[in-house]
Chains A and B, each alone.
Chain A
Amino acid sequence: MKKPTLSPFFLHVCKKAMFYFGTYFIALSLTFVIIRLMPGNPIQVLVARLMAGRPKGGPVFGVDRLYLLFIQEFSLDKLAHEQYIVYMQSMLGSTINLLTFRICPVLQSANFGISITYYPLTVMDIMTGKLLWSLALLLPSIVIGFIVGNYLGAIAASKKGVIDNVVFNTSLFLSNIPYYCLALILLFVFAFVYRIFPIGGGYSFGRIGFSLTLDWIIDYLHHYALPFLSLFLITVGGQAIGMRVMMIYELNSDYYVYSKQLGLSERKLVNYAYQNAILPQITGLALSFGSIFSGSLITEVVFNYPGIGLALYNAILGRDYPLIQGCFAIITLTTLVANFLMDIAYAFIDPRIRAVYAGEKA
């Protein structure tokens, strides 16, 4: 056996990185087109309205400040292609700033622009905190949901009978409920009827901000339980359904039947089948990350959970266009980074891909 070399794998990573960067670039360009080039877009309308009531040469107050902010934020005093260059520079600079955890001194000023509703604060300042809240909700529910769901699906497929029936039907039910519907039902049952969990929010009143005391953590987990459960249950349902089908397919395959007749232990065989069945599940997870993330945004609104979804909701209510634009950039970025990491992880896990990159054809 040849030793795996690094360079083809490195090339693979580079290719993927290029693809995701290109996608991000296109996504940003799309927003640019939507926001500024659409006829009668709200920014033009807003600026025109502000301009109408603007006394010439007067002091800069209130409405004026908003007007100037808009002109500056969207560089409306420039030509379209110049606007595009300024926009891209600012967005990409801000992205790099965010990805390097804001330590790069050159990029300190690149902050996705200034929010209108939270005036002096930059979009970056608002979003970094919210992003942490969102990820704290999203990642555990996906990871634990993935593990539990696949485990249940595999058990259902290999045990058959009653267990299979129960797992299959529950999962089918769970995976078909839209995120926000399950969220509403959970909220009603556990926060209104039984009053076990709080009715929403990320923490109790008067406990704004994060502190690492036991008190705070318990309070946080208490608020965290329902949003977590709603995302977790749907992930479990979807994963269990997928895994069950994959496992049934594996358990009926020739290698399995043959090895079983050779007398290999069932336990060991199921383990092999599981390892084969989990690979497509990981691809599926990577592909559905975007929709899970999107689902979690609305879940946050239902639970009043202070993450990106709620920030986006407030931005829409306040017509805070720089913040909406920043939210889109950060949501897209998170999705793409997650997909990218998943692609790399997949290349490590799948022996076939590893073999290809090691120079032996699978």
Chain B
Amino acid sequence: MSLQLLKQSKKFLVGISILLFFIGLATIMPWFMPNPKAMIGGLWEPPSYERILGTDPLGRDVFSLFVHGINMSLRIGILAGLVATAAGVVIGAVAGYRGGIVDEVLMSITNVMLVIPTLALLIVLAAFIQVRNEMLMAFVIGITSWPWTARSIRSQTLSLKAREFIDLARMSGLSEKKIIFQDVLPNMFSYIFMCFALQMAGGILSETGLSMIGLGPTDIVSLGMILRWALSWEAVRLGKWWVFTPVTIAITLLTTSLLLINTGMDEIFNPRMRRL
């Protein structure tokens, strides 16, 4: 039913197609080029038919680095998005449903976290972790970016709480935990998914930002790490556009596609936004 509705939104369709394209590229291509760190050519080879994105100063195939990088960035983005959304949903739903002192405590924590500059906190966290793998990066990014989700889930919960079926559930003697997880949250599923799309975009951006200042995953290829290498090799100053242009385009398209999915869904599920 709702999938039928989603098909009406052009934005959603465009967004999901771009995202699926990148997911396909990132899952299929690494099979054909299993080792991105292998030296396969000369230094700074420009793009050619054999190597469509040329090589870097270590003789590695940039296209191979690129697809592996997308793979890793998507994985970190999804994981970070899951962590952030889960934390935000639990905190927001509990605060909104419980109300009273629990709400006040949770929301003051959220408000405090909202004004602390996230990237700076992330930098401190990442700088003091010696070995950073994919899971750790995702976790660190996730636990610093939940406040927005918590806030919006809370206000959604508040409006759901006033509906009759929740009263009914309460009267039938269901426990609070069950009401939150069986009645409140399933009714906001589309909304939670929209939050996840935004958090995933944020996760990809945070990973890239952290990697660019030298706090990326150690020993893994990600889109951010490619940009970091491009910076430290002075690729821009030397005009080696094939190293950094595909990555910048990929990051921009990926985050835009997730944003389009979010707004497309918003227009379908949020009656006030329909028409625009």
Among candidates A27, A177, A200, residue contacting B252 with C-beta atoms closer than 8 Å: A177
Among candidates B120, B231, B252, residue contacting A178 with C-beta atoms closer than 8 Å: B252
Q: Is the CB of A294 within 8 A of B248?
A: no
- Is A180 an interface residue, CB under 8 A from the partner? yes
State how many angstroms separate the Cβ of B237 from the closest Cβ of chain A.
5
**Which residues of the partner chain B approach A287 to less than 8 Å between Cβ atoms?**
114
Complex formed: what's the CA distance from A284 to B231 in Å?
32
Would A316 and B130 be within 8 Å (CB), given that A192-B236, A297-B119, A335-B115 are in contact?
Answer: no
A5-49 Cβ-contact flags toward B at 8 Å (1 or 0): 000000000000001101100110011001100101110010000
- Is A138 an interface residue, CB under 8 A from the partner? no
Q: Is the CB of A328 within 8 A of B121?
A: yes
Most chain A CB within a 10 A radius of its CB, from B128, B255, B256? B128
Q: Kindly state the interface size class of chain B when it binds its partner.
A: 35 or more
Q: Is the CB of B130 within 8 A of A331?
A: no
**A26-B112, A30-B121, A188-B244 given; 14 more Cβ-contact pairs under 8 Å:** A23-B112, A23-B116, A31-B124, A34-B124, A34-B128, A35-B124, A38-B129, A185-B248, A199-B236, A199-B237, A328-B121, A335-B115, A335-B116, A335-B117
Size of the chain A interface, CB-CB below 8 angstroms = 55
Complex formed: what's the CA distance from A294 to B115 in Å?
12
Chain A residues engaging chain B, CB cutoff 8 angstroms: 19-20, 22-23, 26-27, 30-31, 34-35, 38, 40-42, 45, 176-178, 180-181, 184-185, 187-188, 191-193, 199-200, 245, 287, 290-291, 293-295, 297-298, 301-302, 309, 312-313, 316-317, 321, 324-325, 327-328, 331-332, 335-336, 339
Closest to B109 in A: A26
Q: Is the CB of B121 within 8 A of A176?
A: no
Interface residues of B in 202-256 (CB under 8 A from A): 205, 208-209, 212-215, 227, 230-231, 236-237, 239, 241, 244-245, 248, 251-252, 255-256
Closest to B250 in A: A181
CB-CB nearest 9 A-B residue pairs: A294-B119, A181-B248, A290-B117, A331-B120, A176-B256, A335-B117, A23-B112, A192-B239, A27-B116
Would A22 and B248 be within 8 Å (CB), given that A297-B119, A298-B213 are in contact?
Answer: no
Can you report 24 residue pairs joining A to B where beta carbons are below 8 Å apart?
A23-B115, A34-B125, A176-B252, A177-B252, A178-B255, A180-B212, A180-B227, A184-B230, A187-B236, A188-B236, A188-B239, A192-B239, A199-B236, A199-B237, A298-B209, A302-B231, A309-B213, A317-B214, A321-B127, A327-B120, A332-B116, A335-B115, A335-B117, A336-B115
